[in-house]
């Protein structure tokens, strides 16, 4: 079974409460339960942190053994050279995801330090962005 992990960055622990007009009204925990049931043929782990260094530690920890990382670095996407470097340093492929369409929002959200070293980017499909990333890893042959 493919071993995948979703890594979520700052403020994504507030999904359901945070700006529901942009991010929806579902908690990530509820959504994760549905995702896990939808993809019984992959092993799905989940990690969330509001702290940049902890996100880097997790990327390094899984980045040489897992089959795929689905990374929503949230606001750090637009600021963190350190997370960008971590994505570059590891062997596990990364798919960058965002719930909102960052290109239809403020200019500062148009820059990403993650994209240049990601396999691909999925954004703007709400929480479904994560489903699509998992499907992509699932459809890739060993
Ligand atoms: C986000 C978009 C980011 O610009 C923002 O800072 C977030 C969430 C998204 O999933 O749409 O926290 O990554």
**What is the Å distance from ligand 1's center to 142 Cα?**
31
- The fourth-level CATH superfamily of domain 2-139 is Dehydroquinase, class II (3.40.50.9100)
Task: Tell me, using a 6 A CB cutoff, whether residue 102 lines ligand 1.
Answer: yes
Look at residue 2 and give its three-state secondary structure: strand
Instruction: Write down the pLDDT at residue 116.
Output: 98
d(CA 63, CA 68): 8
Catalytic annotation, residues: 23, 98
Calculate ∠ Cα 121-122-126, nearest 5°.
150
d(CA 25, CA 14): 10
Task: Tell me, using a 6 A CB cutoff, whether residue 48 lines ligand 1.
Answer: no
pLDDT in tens, 58-105: 999 999 999 999 999 999 999 999 999 999 999 999 999 999 999 999
Q: Retrieve residue 28's tokens.
A: 């990530």
Task: Tell me, using a 6 A CB cutoff, whether residue 71 lines ligand 1.
Answer: no
**What is the Å distance from ligand 1's center to 72 Cα?**
7
Torsion sign (Cα): 129, 134, 138, 142: positive
Instruction: Write down the pLDDT at residue 142.
Output: 60
With a cut of 70, say whether residue 6 has pLDDT above it. yes
Contacts of 45 (CB under 8 A, 6+ apart): 3, 4, 5, 6, 62, 66
Instruction: Write down the pLDDT at residue 141.
Output: 74
pLDDT in tens, 32-55: 999 999 999 999 999 999 999 999
Question: Which atom of ligand 1 is nearest the CA belonging to 74?
Answer: 13
């Amino acid at each position: 079974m493919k071993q995948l992990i979703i890594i979520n960055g700052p403020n994504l622990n507030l999904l359901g409460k945070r700006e529901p007009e942009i991010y929806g009204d579902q908690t990530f925990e509820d959504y994760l339960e549905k995702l896990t049931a939808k993809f019984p043929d992959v092993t799905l782990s989940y990690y969330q942190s509001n702290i940049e260094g902890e996100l880097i530690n997790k990327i390094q920890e899984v980045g040489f053994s897992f089959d795929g990382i689905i990374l929503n670095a949230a606001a750090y996407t637009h600021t963190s050279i350190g997370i960008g470097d971590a994505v570059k340093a590891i062997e596990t492929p990364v798919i960058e995801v965002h719930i909102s369409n960052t290109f239809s929002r403020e200019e500062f959200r148009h820059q990403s330090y993650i994209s240049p070293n990601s396999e691909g980017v999925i954004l703007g499909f709400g929480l479904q962005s994560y489903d699509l990333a998992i499907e992509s890893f699932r459809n890739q042959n060993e």
